[in-house]
Amino acid sequence: MAQMTYRQALNQAMREEMQRDPDVYLIGEDVGEYEGAYKVSEGLLQEFGPKRVIDTPISEEAIAGAGIGSAMVGLRPIVEMMTINFALLAMDQIVNHAAKLRYMSGGQLKIPLVLRAPQGAGMQLGAQHSQNLESWFLHVPGLKVVAPSTPYDAKGLLKSSIRDDNPVIFFEHELLYGVKGEVPEEDYSVPLGVAEVRRAGSDVTIVSYLRMVNIALGAAKALESQGVEAEVIDLRTLKPMDLDTLVGSLKKTHRLVVVEEDYKTCGTGSEIVASLQKEAFDYLDAPMERVATAEVPMPYAKNLERAALPSEQSVIDAVYRTLARETYQLTRV
């Protein structure tokens, strides 16, 4: 398999789907001439032209509305928000129209729209540009929510999202764009709603998504040296969520730690814990633990930003709490 970055995998997914289906097009701010704020749409304007790679004015509500309207008449738009923070300006279109029109039309209208949006902290972009808003969209019936952590999944899940007849909110973490991984050269897709076990273990289950999967894997590696075998599950799709895989893991480990970059209050972890309290209560040997971002507007200062975000050490501490053992301090050479 070829090695490519998360950014290149997304680009390849859009290119292949636009070649396969003439109804697929890309619309957003600076997606054409500038090739995207994070260069995800590099080369697409040159290949497909301005009718299928459309630069827009700075109006998120208009961008989302144009995508929804075109989806209603049979096109398959990929709507790029420069950042999920700007999608707040398009919430009426996303929540009141994209999410509801198929239901309100009795299934006569399909809304095959993908809204791609980078999000997350760690780049010193300040409080207004460092948010994680996935739980906002999880709350809305009619939307699917996808959050890949690897280049392989970024490509495969984006292709599945583009082919889906329902609106999909597709989250991309800004710090993952340069991450490399193996991606098959042949055509493939990754189904929505299926989690992936990234690391097998028997002592505790760690559940995460997006960039926090890498934090969880780093913590699991450190825990191994202390005799703790952690199973790490990458959700990949937040809605629909693959609870069967989580329950299956808890039948084996009997302990759970959820790691998210969102806030704890009404976050994705809240839904995971509430669901597993019902579906897997009999398998639990200890209270479920949650690791999340500190509930403050994200600081700009690098040291404060780092302190606010989940770390490998905070995951390790949570694992040791659920194991009822004393923790140890992670050290780096």
Task: Map 282-298 to HEC letters.
Answer: HHCCCCCEEEEECCCCC
Whether residues 213 and 296 share a domain: the answer is yes
In a domain, 190, yes or no: no
| Positive/negative CA dihedral, 138, 14, 27, 37 | positive
Structural domain total, the chain: 2
Q: Are 253 and 205 in contact (CB under 8 A)?
A: yes
Whether residues 128 and 208 share a domain: the answer is no
42 is catalytic: no
29, 35, 129, 289: the catalytic one is 129
Whether residues 38 and 153 share a domain: the answer is yes
Q: State which residues form the domain around 6.
A: 2-183
In a domain, 93, yes or no: yes
In a domain, 51, yes or no: yes
Which CATH number do you get for residue 248? 3.40.50.920
| Residues 6+ away with beta carbon under 8 Å from 222 | 312, 316, 330
d(CA 283, CA 277): 10
Residue reference for tokens 């289906």:
21
d(CA 50, CA 67): 15
pLDDT in tens, 55-93: 999 999 999 999 999 999 999 999 999 999 999 999 999
What's the pTM?
0.95
| Of 192, 234, 177, the residue nearest 210 (C-alpha) | 234
231 Rama class: left (phi>0) / alpha (psi -120 to 50) / beta: beta
Mean pLDDT of the region 152-174? 98
d(CA 197, CA 316): 19
In a domain, 188, yes or no: no
In a domain, 207, yes or no: yes
In a domain, 308, yes or no: yes
Mean per-residue pLDDT of the chain: 96
What would the two tokens of residue 281 be? 């209560």
Confidence of residue 333 (pLDDT cuts 50, 70, 90): very low
185 is catalytic: no
Given 183, 217, 246, which residue is the final one in a domain? 183
pLDDT in tens, 13-46: 999 999 999 999 999 999 999 999 999 999 999 9
29, 35, 60, 196: the catalytic one is 60
pLDDT in tens, 119-151: 999 999 999 999 999 999 999 999 999 999 999
Whether residues 6 and 121 share a domain: the answer is yes
Facing residues of 24 across strands?
76
Taking the CA atoms of the chain, what radius of gyration do you get in angstroms? 20
Q: Are 260 and 212 in contact (CB under 8 A)?
A: yes
Which CATH number do you get for residue 77? 3.40.50.970
Q: Are 87 and 131 in contact (CB under 8 A)?
A: no
